[in-house]
Structure 1
Amino acid sequence: MSIAYAVLTALMSAVLLASAGAKFIRPKRLVDQMSTLGLSYGVLPFLGVAQIAGAGGLVVGLRWAPLGVAAAVGLALYFIGAVATHLRVGDFKGAPPATVLAISAAVLVGLRVATL
């Protein structure tokens, strides 16, 4: 396992847990953004659980590589979907953060596969 993978895993997991926490707290800004994206209010807990699962998979993936790869692939797909959702409604301010996270997840896939 590489140091780069471990560092990026720690950073990504911290971002994911913070984002998931917001999805459970449901600040007005986030609820308004979901409305702008055309997503129902009820999808927030699912998104939060998916982010927590991804963070957990990345952390466990530090020891068990197949789970790390699976978690990173899942997160890449999650954030590609987020980018597509933002672009679909013309939310060009919301797409860049999701793009950075999608790229980060793809880098995690590559780093973990390279250390198998």
Structure 2
Amino acid sequence: MRITALILSVLLAAAMLQSGAMKFVRPAWILKFSQAVHITTAQLTALGSLQIAATIGLVWGIWFPPFALAAAIGLVLYFVGAIVAHIRAGDRNILGATVFLALSIATSVVLVLDIAR
């Protein structure tokens, strides 16, 4: 189980690092998505910061698994919120958030099972 937890944690960390960095770089496609959900640039920076913080927690969790678990659970909440925000704004472009939510849930479950052993 430890190898699966490690692989999922690293995969989720890489995805969050990329996604969080894009919120700071702000290419046109990110701005388009954020405008569709009525997110300001300050909020975009805060959301990117949360994703970078989760990345740090997931990487640190390689040595201290409870940190990875906390980061993964935080990301579950983050992406549930993202999906709700998209739906409330009438934006049906939720595929990315749904994939990240599924990855966050899978990582959380495997980490719980790994820590419980």
Within a 5 Å distance, the mapping from 1:7-26 to structure 2 comes to 7-26=7-26
Partners of 1:68 and 1:21 in 2: how far apart? Answer: 19
Deviations 1:21-48 (A, max 9, x none): 1111111221122111011121111111
Partners of 2:33 and 2:97 in 1: how far apart? Answer: 13
CA contact 2:23–2:30 (8 Å) conserved in 1: yes
Aligned residue identity for 1:112: L
For structure 1, list consecutive stretches of 5 or more residues without a partner in the other structure. Answer: none
Aligned to 2:112: 113
Query: 3-state SS of the aligned residue for 2:98?
Result: helix
Q: Which moves more between the two structures, 74-83 or 3-12?
A: 3-12
Deviations 1:59-108 (A, max 9, x none): 1112112111111110110011111111112222x212101111211111
Aligned residue identity for 1:109: S
Aligned to 1:91: 91
Aligned to 1:31: 31
Task: Give TM-score, length-normalised by structure 1.
Answer: 0.91
Task: Give TM-score, length-normalised by structure 2.
Answer: 0.91
Aligned to 1:57: 57
CA RMSD of aligned residues (A): 1.2
Partners of 1:56 and 1:104 in 2: how far apart? Answer: 17
For structure 2, list consecutive stretches of 5 or more residues without a partner in the other structure. Answer: none
